[in-house]
Structure 1
Amino acid sequence: MIRIKNLSKLYQTKKQQVQAVDNVSLNIEQGEIFGVIGYSGAGKSTFVRLINRLEEPTNGSVVIHEKDITKMSTNQLRKKRQKIGMIFQHFNLLWSRTVFDNIAFPLEIASVSKTEQKKKVQELINLVGLAGKENAYPSQLSGGQKQRVGIARALANDPEVLLCDEATSALDPETTDDILDLLVSINKKLNLTVILITHEMHVIQKICHRVAVMENGNVVETGDVLDVFVKPQSKTTKRFVQQLNPLEYEKENLVEFINDKEDSEVVKLHFIGNNAKRAVISEVAKKFDVEINILQGSIAPTQEGAYGTLYVEINGDKKILEETITFLEGTGVEVEVLRHV
């Protein structure tokens, strides 16, 4: 649906060149929520602005529905942008206009009739949960309500793609979750492709199907969210995953809980998808003559299913320990034996 190939952006100043985006290639499928995550300066916001040519690329191409955005004339691009919605971190509302008039603004530009405007705007107000706020001004709204207006406005011309540039960064955690739930609902109802830029792994975890990790203008890792969470490859990705469960990466904290008997193993278990619901520890306790000391664990949902980790110390006869670990591996749970924690 969206094919991005060798996309680059080079800024030239009097003193130096800055490579904001460096030869990025990605394929984003119709109807998916695709996350792009990176720390400040990674190039992610420049990248998303290249998609609708708010920034002109130095090199590369962006093809949406078989149409190359980078080769379009000014008039062609103006029409195409009506099908590329965008929401921003700081809302970018027109403060002298009501909620209704803010949402109607793109329709006015597209020369939609007043009758159709009224019908469409009311549908969008209901969709984003702002019924009763039609005549309110932005100054009378909460941050979450302002972003709902921004989302409704971005949907006014029935876009093919919705670009979200740090859309929840200015919101508190509870409001952030409400907006993310709204984006998931819109994605499902409209089969709308969403590209979401963020620096928060919680946002990626909660709503994205796939993710690309950016660093210094490059994509250093990409894949299904579940795969990236369970087996992060790059240092940057590991730092982001650590945001969700800091204790997991501080294994020295486990030492004080380990009995450290002579015949024992410390094991890290990865539960993915339906395996996260399985009572594996209970099965082991019933089947084998071992003692199990649970050291630490966590579980989290993603759009592709739940994943979790559990650290346990298993004490018992050496042969039985081997049989226990073999049994665990046979359940579909990923097993990592940590002999030196």
Structure 2
Amino acid sequence: MITIKGLSKVFQSRDHQVKAVDNLDLTIEKGEIFGVIGYSGAGKSTFIRLLNRLEEPSGGQVTIENQEITGLSKKALRLTRQEIGMIFQHFHLLWSRTVKDNIAFPLEIAGMPKEERHARVQELIELVGLSGRENAYPSQLSGGQKQRVGIARALANNPKVLLCDEATSALDPETTDSILDLLVDINKKLGLTIILITHEMHVIRKICHRVAVMEDGKVVEQGDVLDVFLHPEKPVTRKFVDQVMGDTEQAHSLELIHQNYASGKILKLHFVGENTNQALITELARNFTVDINILHGKITQTQKGAYGTLIVHVTGDSEETDRAIAYIKETSVEVEVNPNA
């Protein structure tokens, strides 16, 4: 478990102070993939660098498995950092070294014997899917392959925690998905705790169990990813959810329907988990004398299950429409009735 209490970082310029991280509290469970999302300037990259003291905190505590990182001497910190792997947006590889030599570098620093080092490197090359590329140099690799080298190198000393600072931001969408799949595989195989910093909700949606949303150095919202998708509370969180669920298109559909139809009601339905397979619209059409026009819909997958939204326009006798809405509310599908309809 990772416990963060009152963590702060203040940068002092000649004229003023900047609070990059402001009295932040978080608890991250052992073995989970925890996402931290925020726009540029939110403080998320500073936050992750405070966890292994690449940045020295101005205040607060970071405790990883009962060891307080913020209280360690420099000598003790060097040893502890072997248990905290880190991967970066721009890879940070040694360009004069081959793939296997890049991966071996932290093992050399740790003083591992050559034979053991070679065996460990081969194990890691297979784990990250780089077999056959052992002798290639970084300049001969694609972006995804470079990041796989970075991941293997970060795992070399069998860390307890893997920190990922915008690890997929420099990659194309297809390569991003392959790297995210690799991180999920590593999490399951090794039971590794992964803390992932990003500004892309797609990344959070695809692999994270829980998420914290940062704004102006503070955590403004946190929870299970699926819960955050279902009930975003803060404006910044709703913007991130919109990245994945396409609420811009939904809003446009609602605007058009209001312009063209004076009667009926607009319903926004939320389907979770197995409910995404429910034939609700068919049941409504069979059981109630209403007409249903589907305006917009989307289903996306999270680590905790599927989440879908569907916007429909329902017309018919007012009493019958109300009965249909009441029927929906009796199911586990959430329904919002548009107040302007």
Question: What TM-score range do you get, normalising by the shorter chain?
Answer: over 0.9
Once the two structures are superposed, the pairs formed by residues 120-269 of structure 1 within 5 Å of their partners are: 120-248=120-248, 251-257=251-257, 260=261, 262=263, 264-269=264-269
| Equivalent in the alignment of 1:270 | 270
Q: Are 2:144 and 2:171, in contact at CA under 8 Å, matched by a contact in 1? A: yes
The alignment's TM-score, normalised by the length of structure 1, stands at 0.97
Q: Which moved more, 1:80-89 or 1:314-323?
A: 314-323
Query: Which runs of 5 or more residues in structure 1 are unaligned?
Result: none
Shift, 1:14, TM fit: 1.6
Q: Following the alignment from structure 1 to structure 2, what is the Cα–Cα distance between the partners of residues 65 and 256?
A: 54
Q: Following the alignment from structure 1 to structure 2, what is the Cα–Cα distance between the partners of residues 121 and 317?
A: 70
Identity across matched positions, percent: 64
Secondary structure of 1:82's aligned partner: helix
Q: Following the alignment from structure 2 to structure 1, what is the Cα–Cα distance between the partners of residues 150 and 197?
A: 16
Q: Following the alignment from structure 1 to structure 2, what is the Cα–Cα distance between the partners of residues 143 and 191?
A: 26
Once the two structures are superposed, the pairs formed by residues 67-82 of structure 1 within 5 Å of their partners are: 67-82=67-82
Shift, 1:257, TM fit: 4.2
| Equivalent in the alignment of 1:11 | 11
Distance 1:209 1:95, change over 3 A: same
Shift, 1:252, TM fit: 4.2
Shift, 1:240, TM fit: 1.1
2:261 aligned partner, one-letter code = D
Query: Does residue 37 of structure 2 align to residue 37 of structure 1?
Result: yes
Q: Are 1:242 and 1:249, in contact at CA under 8 Å, matched by a contact in 2? A: no
Q: Following the alignment from structure 1 to structure 2, what is the Cα–Cα distance between the partners of residues 328 and 288?
A: 12
Q: Following the alignment from structure 2 to structure 1, what is the Cα–Cα distance between the partners of residues 42 and 174?
A: 27
Q: Following the alignment from structure 2 to structure 1, what is the Cα–Cα distance between the partners of residues 95 and 256?
A: 57
1:254 aligned partner, one-letter code = L
Q: Following the alignment from structure 2 to structure 1, what is the Cα–Cα distance between the partners of residues 241 and 247?
A: 11
Shift, 1:251, TM fit: 2.1
Shift, 1:244, TM fit: 1.7
Query: Does residue 305 of structure 2 align to residue 293 of structure 1?
Result: no
Shift, 1:254, TM fit: 2.7
Q: Following the alignment from structure 1 to structure 2, what is the Cα–Cα distance between the partners of residues 256 and 221?
A: 32
Deviation string, structure 1 residues 118-158 (Cα, Å, up to 9, x no partner): 11111110010000000000000000000000000000011
Q: Following the alignment from structure 2 to structure 1, what is the Cα–Cα distance between the partners of residues 287 and 84?
A: 57
Q: Following the alignment from structure 2 to structure 1, what is the Cα–Cα distance between the partners of residues 227 and 172?
A: 28
Distance 1:248 1:277, change over 3 A: farther
Q: Which moved more, 1:1-10 or 1:228-237?
A: 228-237
Q: Following the alignment from structure 2 to structure 1, what is the Cα–Cα distance between the partners of residues 217 and 12?
A: 15
Deviation string, structure 1 residues 195-232 (Cα, Å, up to 9, x no partner): 00001111111111111111111111111111111111
Q: CA RMSD in A?
A: 1.3
Query: Does residue 130 of structure 2 align to residue 95 of structure 1?
Result: no
The alignment's TM-score, normalised by the length of structure 2, stands at 0.97
Q: Are 2:250 and 2:296, in contact at CA under 8 Å, matched by a contact in 1? A: no
Shift, 1:253, TM fit: 3.2
| Equivalent in the alignment of 2:113 | 113
Count matched residues.
340
Q: Following the alignment from structure 1 to structure 2, what is the Cα–Cα distance between the partners of residues 111 and 158?
A: 14
Q: Following the alignment from structure 2 to structure 1, what is the Cα–Cα distance between the partners of residues 302 and 250?
A: 23
Q: Following the alignment from structure 1 to structure 2, what is the Cα–Cα distance between the partners of residues 260 and 178?
A: 45
Deviation string, structure 1 residues 292-335 (Cα, Å, up to 9, x no partner): 11011111000111101110011122221111111101110001
2:21 aligned partner, one-letter code = V
Q: Following the alignment from structure 1 to structure 2, what is the Cα–Cα distance between the partners of residues 161 and 255?
A: 47
Q: Following the alignment from structure 2 to structure 1, what is the Cα–Cα distance between the partners of residues 194 and 60?
A: 21
Q: Are 1:261 and 1:315, in contact at CA under 8 Å, matched by a contact in 2? A: no
Secondary structure of 2:35's aligned partner: strand
Shift, 1:75, TM fit: 1.3
Q: Are 2:253 and 2:296, in contact at CA under 8 Å, matched by a contact in 1? A: no
Q: Are 2:226 and 2:302, in contact at CA under 8 Å, matched by a contact in 1? A: yes
Q: Following the alignment from structure 1 to structure 2, what is the Cα–Cα distance between the partners of residues 107 and 339?
A: 62
